Amino acid sequence: MNNIIEFLAHWGVTALSLWVAGFIFHGISFSSKKSLFVSALLLGLANAVIRPAVILLTIPLTLITFGFFLLVINALMMLLVSSIVPGFKVSGFWTAFFASIFIAVLSFFVGLFIFQTGNNPIIIPAHQGLII
């Protein structure tokens, strides 16, 4: 059950970060809430499945650029998701580049408040009952 809650929390943090990025970067837009949530889901999936393979294939380039090529990979993941999801638009590479940096930083700080270290990553308050 904790894995499902953790997955939903990560999905929510990603959706929140994308939503805020849509306000800050004029080149990012969502036609509906559905496109926002599908984009967040697919971005998480792309970052979990496709991104590690791309990083592995580009190790020499990443080493030569002292890791800065990872920012390009993040932007490419965002562009990939925007090409798949109808209603999610990213105007170009540089918008995706800077927005992916913003989304990563915002997700990190929001995640600090939501996730805790230890066995239970999310603290769920226990039901105390009705006090009369």
Tokens encoding 12: 């929510």
Question: What's the rounded Cα separation, in Å, for the pair 110 and 62?
Answer: 27
Task: For the chain, give every domain's residue range.
Answer: 2-114
pLDDT per residue, tens digit, the chain (132 aa), is 678 888 888 899 999 999 999 999 999 999 999 999 999 999 999 999 999 999 999 999 999 999 999 999 999 999 999 999 999 999 999 999 999 999 999 988 888 887 765 555 555 555 454 444
Please, which residues have CB within 8 angstroms of residue 73's CB and are 6 or more apart in sequence? 51, 54, 55, 58
Inter-axis angle of helices 33-57 and 69-84, nearest 10: 140
